[in-house]
Amino acid sequence: MTFHILTIFPEFFAGPFAHGVVKRACAAGLLEIRIHNLRDWTHDRHRTVDDRPFGGGEGMVLKPEPVFDAVESIWPERGPGRKVILLSAQGRMFDQGVANRLSREETLLLICGRYEGVDERVAEHLADEELSIGNYVLSGGELAAAVVIDTVARLIPGVLGNETSAAFDSFQETGHGEGLLDCPHWTRPAEFRGWKVPEVLLNGNHEEIRQFRKGAAREKTARLRPDLV
């Protein structure tokens, strides 16, 4: 699977993709990430990508011309398996279900919004979809692009060494079903600063352990994420 990223901060992505699963997926040839500097599609001396909003108001708006020119030069032809996604605070919410759907695409081009926003003609006439990663204010779409790529990369067959892992739909597959949060985990030492690991996890009775984990997952979900029960 290939991701293109269109951004005014190409150097931002040196960090997020240089570790762990994403780095290994790229090294294995299962994932390709190509970063494009939006300013490469400007023509003036100052490489201008923004302008003042029509109608007045605070802040600047990303101009449409460099964005359209960039997408049309990266992809002279559009078509199935080539999806353009605008990352913006106004987008539809990204979640595990959206990630599963995107993981079935061949190639995605992520446009990172900046400033007060992006000229609406990009959302209306260039992007296939507009996505937000949550109800909070970021400074731009770069962090969101890294989140989307990290989440989708894990679902590409072979990336986690598990061909069937892309099949699930719930936001976390726990094996407990029910769409619960994962159960809590403990490791050694069995006692740390006086806090003991639940005895049942040490007794080797796998049916009892399974029951305990299911109950613990239910309890924690009800307490921290009542919206999921």
Among 87, 110, 152, 216, binds ligand 9D3 (CB under 6 A): 87
Q: What is the closest distance, in whole angstroms, from the C-beta atom of residue 134 to ligand 9D3 in the complex?
A: 5
What distance lies between CA 91 and its chain's CA centroid? 13
Q: What is the closest distance, in whole angstroms, from the C-beta atom of residue 88 to ligand 9D3 in the complex?
A: 5
- Does 166 bind ligand 9D3 (CB under 6 A)? Our answer is no
Q: Which amino acid is at 115?
A: Y
Among 21, 30, 138, 160, binds ligand 9D3 (CB under 6 A): 138
The CB density around residue 106, as the number of other CB atoms within 10 Å, is 11
Between 25 and 144, name the residue whose CB sits nearer to ligand 9D3.
Answer: 144
- Which span sits near ligand 9D3 by CB under 6 A: 17-25, 37-45, 137-145, 187-195? 137-145
- Does 113 bind ligand 9D3 (CB under 6 A)? Our answer is yes
Between 58 and 199, name the residue whose CB sits nearer to ligand 9D3.
Answer: 58
**Where along the sequence are the contacts to ligand 9D3 (CB under 6 A)?**
87-89, 113, 116-117, 132-134, 136-141, 144
